[in-house]
Amino acid sequence: MTTSLFSHSGLLQRFSSTRLLVAGDVMLDRYIYGSVSRISPEAPVPIVRITREVAAPGGAANTAANIAALGASVTLLGVTGRDEAAAALQRCLQEKGVSAASLLVDPARPTSVKTRVVAHQQQVVRLDEESTACLSAETAAAFLARFSSALPESDAVVLSDYGKGMLSAGIVPRLIELARASGKPVLADPKTASAAPWRGVTLLKPNRIELALLAGRPVLNHQDTLAAAAVVLPSLGGGALLVTEGADGMTLFEPGPESGFAPRHFAAPARTVYDVTGAGDTVLATLAVAVAAGATLAVATELGVQAAARVVQKLGTEVITVEELLG
């Protein structure tokens, strides 16, 4: 355990008393593992001999699973289809200690599924089944009603956007407005080409690719991050920005006592990286639970850095527990 984690042990113990509300694009992550020994005679592609298949909650569902793994209570809001993938997702959520009771069903939409074929710890191909259309007026109204009813029992709100139509530019401002009117902090992971819908958010957590989309300019290194953040921050209405920068760590832009945002960089611990899938969900979950437990954004980021360093050492869509953070 690092010195900082020792000093935050009291905070970690309060995780179990927090209640989080997660809204966003839920999906099922499927993994087909196998081995490759030859190339297909039909096309220049590897032949994967399947050895096992695994399923896990993905997207907002993975964020919720990470929150539950940290010991917090979580309500998950999202939309699935009425299909086999939805049933599989419900089973996966149950295994992770997350209720699927608040999920809405829209028979006109397929449940989002990402299927990854992995051979010798290398991803060969990914297959996506999804709809990116915005929610119907009826489904959107039902979603807002469930969101409003869940707010009073929540300590913080998490918005997990994967660009599948759940968190449209029309609905996001309403969610933030409802949450802030109830005095709840809002932490979000964006997949939009504009920062405008996220105005009023407590913390926006893009990676470099997402920041580039928000800023309309390339973000390839830390200096690019600083420049792009300066473009995005005025649109957030005083909200903080946390940019995850992979092996370069994370940079937090938080309002200071005077005008402007002073960047604070958090280096990433040296770790062997096996799989970055879902690491952003782990970071978002850790940040949200920490903030709900009373942490400052800086302290929450310290914990998020440590959580990310641990989850990338796992293969597939995985979670981190408080015990792993302390270990």
Catalytic residues: 281
Distance CA 151, CA 286 (A): 19
Phi, psi dihedral angles at 162 (to 5 degrees) = -115, 15
> Which residues make beta-bridge pairs with 26?
59
| Nearest-10 Cα torsion for 263, 264, 268, 274 | -40
The count of other CB atoms within 10 Å of the CB of residue 324 is: 16
| 75 touches 150 (CB < 8 A) | yes
User: CB count, 10 Å around CB of 128?
Assistant: 11
With contact defined as beta carbons under 8 Å apart, do 154 and 19 qualify?
yes
- C-beta of residue 96 within 8 angstroms of C-beta of residue 74: no
